[in-house]
Chain A
Amino acid sequence: MKGKDIFRLLMNPYTRIAGLSAFGLGMIFMVLIGFFGAANGVVFDGVLDMHFPGKVTLLNSFLYLAIDLVSLILVMFIAGLFVSKTFRFVDILGTMTLSKAPFLILALVAYFVTVPDMKDILKDPNIIFQSVSFLVILILSLPIIIWNITLIYNAFKVSCDVKGTTLNLNVIYGLLLSEVISKALIYFLIKNSIQLT
């Protein structure tokens, strides 16, 4: 396989894998992300979010991930109902789950990150530039999030067979809506009521 083919496969694995097999592979990534996220003190609290709250329980790490995934799948499934007559729920389920895979890199790299104390940052924001590892993960998070969005875009494209403006608008609105829903769910279910941390 040539470099170009590998790149294409990394950006759009869904031409080869979808449905239940993609869901199974995606779940393996989700378990690893949840585990390493908790171990390295990073949470993915939102469809496109990552934060360093310090200590993270394993339960919380997985709850955040589950909320992100459910929000994304539900919104994209409803969007699919409007734009496609032939798509299957299992394809949305599998491809969207697999689209979370790039976050494993961030969960692993977080092990090397020293996060400056929030109080110190508020006193002197320039303190961020003294933590090289924190800067590295900030810079690294940008291509990872772009990769994640590309995967979500291709997941919806392949699963629902939509193209052009319909595809672009549905992915943009779908991402924004799922981000809002995930944030709201995290606030109401975890931060507001359960108080797990």
Chain B
Amino acid sequence: MLPTQCPSCHTQLKVKCLKCENCETEVNGTYDLPVLATLPEEQQQFILRFVKNSGSLKEMASELKLSYPTVRNLLNDIIQKIELYER
């Protein structure tokens, strides 16, 4: 799993270097992480499931064996985090 927070001070990390495995080219700079990569792993998994289920919370609920409002609340938490990040 990609580390997104500094292990020392818990600040959001930035991407400093990207490397091509084919030709060994390295791209250096200071890049922001994509929004989805900043979310915890379980929330990223939730988004993947959500997309795979064509955005159907009902299907998500039956797959996860959770109630509909619980799944919707999990989605609300993700929306809140993304909105906070965008601000």
CA distance A87 to B69 in the complex (A): 8
Q: B76–A18 contact, CB under 8 A?
A: no
**Closest B-chain residue to A87, C-beta based?**
B69
6 closest A-B pairs by CB? A18-B67, A161-B73, A15-B70, A91-B69, A18-B69, A158-B69
Closest CB of chain A to B41's CB: distance in Å? 20
Contacting residues, chain B, for A19 (C-beta < 8 A): 67-69
Does A16 make an interface contact (CB < 8 A)? yes
Does B72 make an interface contact (CB < 8 A)? yes
Q: Which of A66-89 contact B (CB under 8 A)?
A: 86-88
Contacting residues, chain A, for B70 (C-beta < 8 A): 14-16, 18, 158
Does A159 make an interface contact (CB < 8 A)? yes
Enumerate 21 A-B pairs (CB-CB under 8 Å) in ascending A order: A14-B67, A14-B69, A16-B65, A16-B67, A16-B70, A17-B67, A18-B67, A18-B69, A18-B70, A19-B67, A19-B68, A19-B69, A86-B72, A88-B69, A91-B68, A158-B67, A158-B69, A158-B70, A158-B73, A159-B69, A161-B69
Does B66 make an interface contact (CB < 8 A)? yes
CA distance A22 to B66 in the complex (A): 12
Closest CB of chain A to B47's CB: distance in Å? 18
Contacting residues, chain A, for B72 (C-beta < 8 A): 86, 161
Main secondary structure of the interface of B (DSSP, over half): helix
CA distance A16 to B72 in the complex (A): 13
The residue in B66, B67, B68, B70 that gathers the most chain A C-beta atoms within 10 A of its C-beta is B67
Known: A18-B67, A161-B69. 15 other contacts (CB 8 A): A14-B67, A15-B66, A16-B66, A18-B69, A18-B70, A19-B67, A86-B72, A86-B76, A87-B69, A88-B68, A158-B70, A158-B73, A159-B69, A161-B73, A161-B76
In this complex, the interface size class of chain B, counting residues with CB under 8 Å from chain A, is under 10
Q: Mark B42-81, 1 if CB is under 8 A from A, else 0.
A: 0000000000000000000000011111101100100000
CA distance A39 to B47 in the complex (A): 52
Contacting residues, chain B, for A158 (C-beta < 8 A): 67, 69-70, 73
Contacting residues, chain A, for B66 (C-beta < 8 A): 15-16
Closest CB of chain A to B67's CB: distance in Å? 4
CA distance A19 to B72 in the complex (A): 13
CA distance A91 to B71 in the complex (A): 13
CA distance A18 to B68 in the complex (A): 7
Q: Mark A157-177, 1 if CB is under 8 A from B, else 0.
A: 011010000000000000000
Q: Which of A139-197 contact B (CB under 8 A)?
A: 158-159, 161
